[in-house]
Amino acid sequence: MKNYELVLHRVEADLAAGRLRLGGRLPGERSLAEQLGISRPSVREAVRVLEAMGIVRTATGSGPEAGAVIVAEPAAPLTALLRLHLATDHLPMGDIVQTRVLLESWTAREAARQVGGSDPASGGLETAEELLERMDAPELSPEEFHLLDAEFHVALSALAGNVLIAAVMSSLRTAIHGYVLAAVPNLADWDATAVGLRAEHRSIVGAIRSGEGDQAAALITAHIEGFYRAAQLR
Amino acid sequence: MKNYELVLHRVEADLAAGRLRLGGRLPGERSLAEQLGISRPSVREAVRVLEAMGIVRTATGSGPEAGAVIVAEPAAPLTALLRLHLATDHLPMGDIVQTRVLLESWTAREAARQVGGSDPASGGLETAEELLERMDAPELSPEEFHLLDAEFHVALSALAGNVLIAAVMSSLRTAIHGYVLAAVPNLADWDATAVGLRAEHRSIVGAIRSGEGDQAAALITAHIEGFYRAAQLR
């Protein structure tokens, strides 16, 4: 085991045992180095890894003895991980599309089961509906539209209440954002595409609202697969 | 953006553009530091992050100018990420079980579609079947049994041919290994449990072999949920 990995294992064990808690601080650099018998640069490398993994946050200027604050933010590091592996070209885009279809058809079905038939003014669909209204603005650039679109899909996924699936979904969506934008010129007619996407979004929300889970799952599957086909994303 | 993040962005861009390739090497520490106008310790921190993310591997003793080798190993870092976040207690075990059920029922259905009805001596089910035979050994400890069990589930997942879903599945399974073992004492009778798990595994493989996807998905769902219930994993 490399020296910086000693720190990761120690932090994992301390978290699991409740000796470290959210909002608390890691011991300072010198203290960790002494306790584990390793150099301070090795501790610093480990803290960077923990930071990249969304376990701690370090403030600039607070000094190495202030200790990094424990946070729990899995979505950003998962995004970074997926982006890097997408870039290596050993993670095919087709597998990502298939994964999105699997996760999002499940979350749409679950959302329909949980919020279906509820009062239109409640149930958590408001965020998604508000995003649809913002996507109606005709002056949006493809980039602005896709950012709202991504937020809309993430909002739907969150309705199912599974933090892991929501984090994976959100990371997938963010990780492929650049690829989606780069593919916009492949679309024959962006304005026509946007009209179609808006209508599809509304029918998905309608199916969830009325509790038709199978229908919502089928619509979101066709929506995702249709866009990747039209944009020739590979 | 922090200094080490400059290195991550640079590596991601170089990978995406094909300037860095699998098996190739990162520029050495000094060269990267000069190109990006940052300190060598910042470069070293970034290389550790890339290593923790499965993008590079560094050999001990090869010196900072040798350059880390580009690899593409997403499963181990995903495992580390999930383990750390499980330890923070903000990733509920119930969400992990639900995710396993979703991914594994899908992979079982896909595997049945792809290898179902094929010659018993082919189709990729041999690895899974060999693991079942090894799990029949009566002298296995719960730990040995669970390691083989995890390998069996990972082998089934790989049959569906989606590298992302297989990596997530494998990471989930490894990340929860310690929790599964810790829960063994909750089982009323380990030997009886093992007999049941063996029979369930065989019926899952049988359903995949004969191409009954829905049946395979239902069996694997009952298998996963039943075990977590019996072991009172939370």
Domains A3-70 and A75-230 share a fold: no
For A175, which residue in chain B has the nearest alpha carbon? Answer: B12
Contact present, A43 and A32 (Cβ < 8 Å)? yes
For domain B75-230, give the fold. Answer: Four Helix Bundle (Hemerythrin (Met), subunit A) (1.20.120)
To the question of pTM greater than 0.90 for the whole model, the response is: no
* E strand or H helix that includes residue A108: helix A93-115
Q: A70-128: per-residue pLDDT in tens? A: 998 888 888 888 888 888 877 888 899 999 999 999 999 999 998 876 665 556 789 99
pLDDT at B103: 96
Given a cut of 70, whether residue A42 has pLDDT beyond it is: yes
From chain B residues 127-166, the ones with a CB under 8 A of any chain A CB are 162-165
* Domain residue limits, chain A: 3-70, 75-230
Q: Is A89 on the interface with B (CB under 8 A)?
A: yes
Q: Which residues of B touch A41 (CB under 8 A)?
A: 41, 44
Q: Is B11 on the interface with A (CB under 8 A)?
A: yes
Q: Tell me the torsion sign for CA atoms A170, B161, B179, A106.
A: positive
Contact call for B50 and A84, based on CB within 8 A? yes
pLDDT at B124: 75
Q: Is A91 on the interface with B (CB under 8 A)?
A: yes
* E strand or H helix that includes residue B77: helix B75-87
pLDDT at B75: 80
Beta bridge partners of B56: B70
Given a cut of 90, whether residue A225 has pLDDT beyond it is: yes
**Under CATH, which architecture does the A3-70 domain have?**
Orthogonal Bundle (1.10)
Residue B112 one-letter amino acid: A
- ipTM score above 0.95: no
Question: Helices A29-36 & A3-16, crossing angle to 10 degrees?
Answer: 100
Which of A44, A74, A87 is the closest to B85 by Cβ?
Answer: A74
Q: Is A59 on the interface with B (CB under 8 A)?
A: no
Cα gap B72→B78, rounded to integer Å: 12
Q: Which residues of B touch A12 (CB under 8 A)?
A: 83-84, 87
